[in-house]
Amino acid sequence: MNKDKNQAEELVENTMAEANDAVAALEVKITELTEGLQRTRADFENFRKQTDLQRGQLMKITEFATIEKVLPVLDTVELAIQHNESLAPLAKTFEKSLNDLGLKMIDANTGTPFDPDFHEAARMEEGDGGDTEVVSEVLRPGYLYNGEVLRPAMVVVKKQ
């Protein structure tokens, strides 16, 4: 009977050892799968963020392209307002509509200091001989779209 008892104890020990090995193997597998899942989640989150960023950039490019196509119409309306005093009330409505779209005319009034970031010099005129370059005439209005230069104002520059 002692022999049977020893065999039974040995069998129990072997079974326990196998069970412990199986549990350890499963714990390793669970750890591997958990880490894989975490990497997959992180990859997906990075993908989502990148996709959102690209979508935003595409929207911005599309908006710029659309507004650029409208600029010749805006130029014509601006010229009509400047040359016909009866259209003066239209100027305020026009300006408000542009602002609502995020479009703002670049300041290029006569006497405004010339800034190459906002103005494009079509030609230079002789002035008083000073060192300061100022706008003397606007040939084509420029526009900012949401704070970025969409098109610089084309101006005549003179030294003052």
pLDDT in tens, the chain (160 residues): 677 778 888 888 889 999 999 999 999 999 999 999 999 999 999 999 999 999 999 998 898 888 888 888 888 888 888 888 788 788 778 788 888 888 888 999 888 999 999 999 999 988 777 788 999 999 999 999 988 999 999 999 998 8
Angle between helices 2-83 and 88-100 (to 10 degrees): 170
Q: What are the E-state strand segments in 55-147? A: 103-105, 119-125, 133-140, 143-145
Whether the CA torsion 124, 127, 131, 134 is positive or negative: it is negative
Q: Could you give the domains of the chain?
A: 102-160 (2.30.22.10)
**What is this structure's pTM?**
0.64
Q: How far apart are CA 45 and CA 58, in angstroms?
A: 20
